[in-house]
Structure formats: structure tokens, C-alpha cells
């Protein structure tokens, strides 16, 4: 169940730096970059100089915010870095403490997971990759650690922050759809450019949902997701993704095959160029999978919003090893699906996934083997096996869905009416949609383009090659025609 608010994240570049009092445009980008680099160097030095006993002490202050915990742990800026009494020195120390404690907490959780001492849930992927090596310090500065002492919002789109000991206004072009409450951003330095990572909170809408419809989602390997809409025991519509999703799935599969090929090539003989290409292909594969998960989640959330209903997915937490399926990104799809669906005021329900691919959606008969992609039952029901599984998942979610609707109407935050759309609209399938596509007659032939009449220069004067004696042919015009034809044949032929 989501809390009182949902969060959205987005990234923007600053448009201007201006003096708060006079409004004069300032050039503070280099100074801010220098502050981020200085903070990175100090945090990296502090992390490398700490002793192992700090992990036992940091657990005692786990209930405090990072900056406050750093104060009790005795984390301070080194002497000589910031002069005493200089404007902004204490605020910069807040940022320093917050980043150090945040990285130490993450490092401690990773060490406990690798040693088997972590009390929380550890996924199979994290268990396989977790190690106790020192972390890599990113080039970023979270302004929220210092709070209103270092940065604050003057008005929508104008952030006041301390740069070089003075308050400076930073302007942004914030899209209108991010109309909620903005938190203080995180300044990030990447490839010499400044980026501001924002988070906006929207109140969770307790609105009416249609109890006659429900969306069921089946996560598969051939298709990233297949979802259906059921009502009254019938399948209203089914989808396996738009053309954009299918195109991206093909790109993901092609990149995955390239990664496997480079791995085999690297096992036979090590080559730096092959290793470098492998790293690039793996990074590309990761980006494409993340983009695919977002697009699929947006399309499912859009379908649920159109029918004003909830979404039901299968609980696949029992699957521990997904390496055999090529890093099945079901977790990424579920994460973004929860994000977009809850933004629209609905919910994602989870049901047991047992026998959803074997049971018939109509009669409930179970078939242990399903050859091919088509599920054919003895009752006459025939459908794609992923569509049948998605329909079974949706039918299992009707009971908790009706209970959720009844409970929602008793909430203090309940507001009658359909919720407003907060998730982004899905993109058009075609980049250039064109005209109507329901043709009823043959396409007419294209009209011949007639260019206007042009004056042609009179070429009556004969052309005689200077390097050919005129005695070869008596008629000068005939000689010119023969030599010109021979020249077009790509060889100069001397005719006697």
C-alpha cells in the first residue's frame, strides 16, 4: 500500500545563475563544479582513512539522519580545508557529514550481505555480486543534507543556494506536469556538465475504481509482458506491446547475442579491444533493458487508466536464479509498474502464480503440457498461452480487488471521482502517423512531374580534339562525333 504521497524523479540543467538582490546574471557554474569536486575528494579521503570500528558505531545512530549521525560520530572537515568563520563553512560541513554517513551505511549493508549477516531480504543477483570492497565515491552533492541552511526554494523554478559564500538564485525550466512539492535537488557532475536531480511528491489519490474491469499481467521471456483486460469472465482485449516495444525487444536480444559472442571470443584469447567492446555492449544492453521496462510499464499503466481499474501481477519472488534466462528483468518491470500505476491512484496486486499457464481460463481444466505457443482446451477455448496465463492472473485478483475498493471508500483520503493522470502518455507507434489507414480503393498513380520549358543552347559549332590531326578524317564534324563517342566509352581510340 503506498503512503500519503508518491514521488517522481527528473533531471534538469540550470538555465541561469543570478544575484538574488540585484538580479544580475552571474557565471557561477565553474565555482559550483569546483565545490562538487572538492566534496568528492574530501569524502573519498575520509572513507579511505576510517577504521573498521566505525561500522559498529554507525549502527548505534541508524535512527538519525545522515548529517546528524555524522556529528555524533565525530566526522569533521580536515583542518585547513575551510577557514574558520568563512561564510558557508558550517553548511559545507553538513554536506560532508551527510555524504560520508550515507556511503558508510551502504557499504555496511553490502559487507553484511556478502558475509551472510544481513537481516533483510537479499536477492539472488545482489548475493552473487555483493562484496566488501571500498565503495566508489560519486561526483554529487545532495543539498538536502544541509537543508534550508544551504539551499531553499524562492519560487517555482528558482532555487536559492550558497555558492562561494553568497546566496545565488538558480533558474530552471520545470515542466508543468511536475506540479507537486519539490524537494531539494542533488547536484551531479558528469562529463564536465552540471545536472540537478529533482524529486517531486504528489498526494496519493484515493479515488473510485471500476469494479467491473481488471488488468492481468504475465511476465514472460519471449515477450517482456502480456496483459489482458477481463470483465464478467470474458477477455475484453489483450496486448503484448506496441511496435516500439517489439523493436526494442529485438534490439535487446541482438545485443545479448553480441555479448555472448564476445564472451566466447574473450575466453579463447584475451584482447584489450575485445574486452573494451564487451564493456560497451554490456552497458548498452543494460540501458536498453531499463528503457524497455519503462515503456512496458507505461503502456500497462495507460491501459489500467483507460479502464480505471487496478493491475494484477504474478508473485515470482520464489524464482532465485535468473541467469539461465539471460538476466530476466522482471524486477525492473515490476518496480516501474508500481511507480506509474500508483501515480494514477490505482494499485498493483500480487497473486500466486501456480498453474496459471496450465489451467484453462474458461473451465479451469489443467493441461500439464502445452506444445507450441497456442493453448487449446477440450472445452473449445483457444488462445495464446501467455494470454491465458494473464487472464488466470486477473481472475485470481478479483477477490482482493473488490475488498480493496470497499476498504478504500472508508478512508479519510477518499475523494469520489476518477483520478487524474499522472503517468506520462505512451508515445505514438509510428513516428509519422500519416493519413487514414482504412483503404477502400487502390492507391492512385503518382502524377508525372513536368518541369517548365528551358532554353537550350545551340551547339552547332563542331568540336575537334586538339591532339588528333585533322588529316585523319576529312570531315571535321564526323571526326568530332567519332572521338566524342569513343571518349564516352572510357577510352580514347584513334581511328584511321
Residue-by-residue DSSP string for 307-369: HT--EEEEE-TT----GGGTS-THHHHHHHHHHHHHHTT--EEEEE-TTTTTB-TTT--B-S-
Cα torsion angle, 93, 97, 98, 99, sign? positive
pLDDT, tens digit, for every residue of 302-341?
999 999 999 999 987 766 655 555 556 788 899 999 989 9
**Which one has a higher pLDDT value, 186 or 468?**
186
pLDDT of residue 254: 94
Q: How many angstroms separate the CA atoms of 287 and 427, rounded?
A: 19
- Among 94-98, 219-223, 318-322, the minimum mean pLDDT is found in 318-322
Q: Is the dihedral of CA 128, 129, 134, 140 positive or negative?
A: negative
In the numeric block, the cell 564487451 is attached to 278
Quick one: pLDDT at residue 491? 47
Residue 165's pLDDT is 81
With cut-offs at 50, 70 and 90, classify the pLDDT of residue 466: very low
User: Model's pTM, two decimal places?
Assistant: 0.68
Distance of CA 243 to the CA centre of its chain: 18
Which superfamily does 214-239+296-408 belong to? Ribonuclease H-like superfamily/Ribonuclease H (3.30.420.10)
Least confident of 1-15, 127-141, 467-481: 467-481
Q: What is the pLDDT of residue 411?
A: 81
Query: Which is more confidently placed, 101 or 55?
Result: 101
Report the SS3 class of residue 257.
Answer: helix
Burial of 492 (0-12, 13-18, 19+ CB in 10 A): exposed
Predicted confidence at residue 121, as pLDDT, reads: 72
Alpha-carbon distance 314 to 294, whole Å? 18
How many C-beta neighbours within 10 Å does residue 441 have?
5
Residue 87 burial (CB < 10 Å; 0-12/13-18/19+)?
A: exposed
Ramachandran category for residue 63: left, alpha or beta (phi over 0 → left; psi -120 to 50 → alpha): alpha
The three cell numbers locating residue 203? 498526494
Burial (CB < 10 A; 0-12, 13-18, 19+), residue 79, is exposed
- Partnered with residue 226 across adjacent β-strands are 218
Rounded CA separation 287/295 (Å):
12
C-alpha cell at 263: 564472451
pLDDT band at 120 (very low <50, low <70, confident <90, very high): confident
Instruction: Give the pLDDT confidence of 332-369 residue by residue, as tens digits.
Output: 899 999 989 988 888 999 998 888 888 898 888 888 77
Q: Are 131 and 110 in contact (CB under 8 A)?
A: yes
With bands split at pLDDT 50, 70 and 90, how would you rate the model's confidence at 238?
very high
How far is CA 276 from its chain centroid?
A: 24
More confident residue, 102 or 449: 102
pLDDT digits (tens, 9 = 90+) for 156-194: 889 999 888 888 999 999 888 787 788 899 999 998 999
Tell me which of 274 and 414 has the higher pLDDT. Answer: 274
More confident residue, 466 or 312: 312
The pLDDT assigned to 327 comes to 55
pLDDT value for 169: 93
Choice between 159 and 60, residue whose per-residue pLDDT is larger: 159
Q: What secondary structure does DSSP assign to 31-74, as a single string?
A: HHHHHHHHHHHHHHHHHHH--TTHHHHHTTTTTS-HHHHHHHTT
Grid look-up 553538513 returns 94
Sign of the dihedral defined by the CA atoms of residues 135, 136, 138, 141, in that order: positive
Q: Parse the chain into domains and list their residue ranges.
A: 5-203, 214-239+296-408, 463-496
- Give yes or no for residue 25 having a pLDDT over 70: yes
Amino acid at each position: 500500500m503506498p503512503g500519503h504521497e508518491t514521488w517522481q524523479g527528473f533531471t534538469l540543467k540550470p538555465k541561469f545563475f543570478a544575484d538574488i538582490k540585484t538580479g544580475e546574471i552571474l557565471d557561477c557554474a565553474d565555482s559550483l563544479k569546483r565545490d562538487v569536486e572538492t566534496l568528492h575528494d574530501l569524502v573519498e579521503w575520509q572513507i579511505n582513512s576510517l577504521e573498521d570500528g566505525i561500522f559498529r558505531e554507525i549502527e548505534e545512530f541508524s535512527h538519525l539522519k545522515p548529517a546528524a549521525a555524522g556529528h555524533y560520530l565525530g566526522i569533521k572537515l580536515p583542518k585547513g580545508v575551510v577557514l574558520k568563520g568563512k561564510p558557508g563553512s558550517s553548511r559545507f560541513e553538513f554536506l560532508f557529514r551527510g555524504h560520508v554517513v550515507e556511503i558508510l551505511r551502504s557499504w555496511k549493508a553490502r559487507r553484511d550481505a556478502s558475509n551472510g549477516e544481513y537481516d533483510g531480504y537479499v536477492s539472488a543477483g545482489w548475493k552473487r555480486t555483493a562484496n566488501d570492497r571500498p565503495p566508489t565515491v560519486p561526483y554529487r552533492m545532495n543539498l538536502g543534507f544541509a537543508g534550508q541552511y544551504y539551499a531553499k526554494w524562492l519560487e517555482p523554478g528558482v532555487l536559492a543556494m550558497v555558492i562561494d559564500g553568497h546566496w545565488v538564485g538558480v533558474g530552471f525550466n520545470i515542466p508543468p506536469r511536475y506540479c507537486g512539492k519539490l524537494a531539494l535537488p542533488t547536484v551531479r557532475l558528469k562529463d564536465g556538465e552540471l545536472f540537478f536531480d529533482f524529486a517531486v511528491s504528489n498526494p496519493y489519490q484515493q479515488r473510485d475504481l471500476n469494479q467491473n474491469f481488471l488488468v492481468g499481467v504475465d511476465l514472460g521471456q519471449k515477450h517482456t509482458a502480456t496483459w489482458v483486460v477481463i470483465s464478467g469472465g470474458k477477455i475484453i482485449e489483450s496486448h503484448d506491446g506496441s511496435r516500439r516495444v517489439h523493436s526494442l525487444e529485438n534490439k535487446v536480444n541482438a545485443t545479448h547475442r553480441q555479448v555472448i559472442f564476445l564472451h566466447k571470443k574473450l575466453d579463447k584469447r584475451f584482447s584489450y579491444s575485445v574486452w573494451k567492446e564487451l564493456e560497451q555492449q554490456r552497458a548498452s544492453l543494460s540501458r536498453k533493458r531499463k528503457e524497455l521496462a519503462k515503456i512496458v510499464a507505461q503502456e500497462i499503466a495507460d491501459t489500467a487508466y483507460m479502464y480505471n481499474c487496478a493491475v494484477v501481477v504474478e508473485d515470482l519472488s520464489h524464482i532465485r536464479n535468473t541467469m539461465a534466462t539471460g538476466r530476466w528483468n522482471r524486477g525492473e518491470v515490476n518496480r516501474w509498474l508500481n511507480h506509474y500505476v500508483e501515480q494514477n491512484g490505482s494499485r498493483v496486486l500480487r497473486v500466486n502464480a501456480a498453474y496459471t499457464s496450465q489451467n484453462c481460463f474458461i473451465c479451469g481444466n489443467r493441461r500439464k503440457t502445452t506444445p507450441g505457443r497456442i493453448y487449446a482446451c477440450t472445452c473449445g477455448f483457444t488462445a495464446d498461452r501467455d494470454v491465458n496465463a494473464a487472464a488466470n492472473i486477473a481472475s485470481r485478483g478479483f477477490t482482493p480487488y473488490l475488498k480493496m475498493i470497499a476498504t478504500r471508500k472508508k478512508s479519510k483520503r477518499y475523494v469520489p471521482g476518477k483520478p487524474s493522470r499522472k503517468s506520462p502518455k505512451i508515445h505514438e507507434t509510428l513516428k509519422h502517423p500519416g493519413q487514414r489507414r482504412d483503404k477502400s480503393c487502390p492507391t492512385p498513380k503518382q502524377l508525372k512531374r513536368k518541369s517548365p520549358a528551358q532554353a537550350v543552347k545551340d551547339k552547332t559549332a563542331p568540336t575537334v580534339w586538339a591532339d588528333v590531326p585533322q588529316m585523319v578524317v576529312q570531315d571535321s564534324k564526323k571526326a568530332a562525333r567519332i572521338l566524342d563517342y569513343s571518349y564516352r566509352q572510357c577510352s580514347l581510340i584513334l581511328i584511321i
